[in-house]
Amino acid sequence: MLQFMDNIFTATAAFMILRKKTTSIEEDLKSGDVDAYESIFKKYYRPLVVFAIKYINNTETAKEIVQDFFVKLYEKRYSINIDTSLKSYLYKSVYNACLNYISQNETRNRHFKNMASQTEDSVIDDHVAAVELQNRIYECIESMPEQCKKIFKMNRLEGLKNEQIAQKLNLSKRTVETQISKALKILRKELNDYVSGVL
């Protein structure tokens, strides 16, 4: 009898594992799976903030809008209806939240009218593509070897010249040039699917 019960528990556990693997993250979210919610938050929070900044032009406000959206997403997780891809749903929701924020701010009415006059889907698609490219560049830079990453950031993000970087890091100018060239090669390779001939 005990062996029979063990077999039932084993089979049940195997079924739950299999079911877990075959359900979508949307289904997991609607079922109240906290891990699914955290996974979505970790993957999309930063890109959505960057996306919101393109409309709001204020980093802190953009963060508040995205954070508020995720709070509402969790509160309404049992009743949400996602009839598109999860990514499209998230970006569209944040886009609408930005529109709502702008429409409620009288000093930004003209900006709201300009946004509303554009083709909504094309605007979202263009901005999503830009955000994803920016995020991919960021990830690519962060994955570079430490010295290469540091020199590239000083050159491209801080605007320092090769000579200035060499002096600050006590390196030869040639070493700096080599590391920048190495960084550009990494970017060309990793971003080949996004851009061609830009770098």
How many residues does the structure list for the chain?
199
Report whether 185 contacts 171 (CB < 8 A).
no
pLDDT in the model for residue 17:
40
Q: Is residue 66's pLDDT more than 50?
A: yes
pLDDT in the model for residue 83:
78
pLDDT in the model for residue 195:
52
pTM (2 d.p.): 0.52
Alpha carbon distance 45, 50 (integer Å):
9
Alpha carbon distance 76, 74 (integer Å):
5
Structure tokens at 165: 């970087």
Q: Is residue 110's pLDDT more than 50?
A: yes
Q: Which pLDDT band, with edges at 50, 70 and 90, does 101 fall under?
A: confident
Q: Is residue 56's pLDDT more than 90?
A: no
Alpha carbon distance 136, 156 (integer Å):
16
Per-residue pLDDT averaged across 104-127, rounded? 60
Helix axes 146-156, 173-190, angle to 10 degrees: 90
Q: Is residue 73's pLDDT more than 80?
A: yes
Q: Which pLDDT band, with edges at 50, 70 and 90, does 8 fall under?
A: very low
Per-residue pLDDT averaged across 138-155, rounded? 89
Domains and CATH numbers, the chain: 25-142 (1.10.1740.10), 145-199 (1.10.10)
Alpha carbon distance 126, 48 (integer Å):
14
168-195: per-residue pLDDT in tens? 999 999 999 999 999 888 888 877 765 5
Structure tokens at 108: 């930004």
Structure tokens at 177: 């040039």
Phi, psi of 105 (to 5 degrees): -110, 105
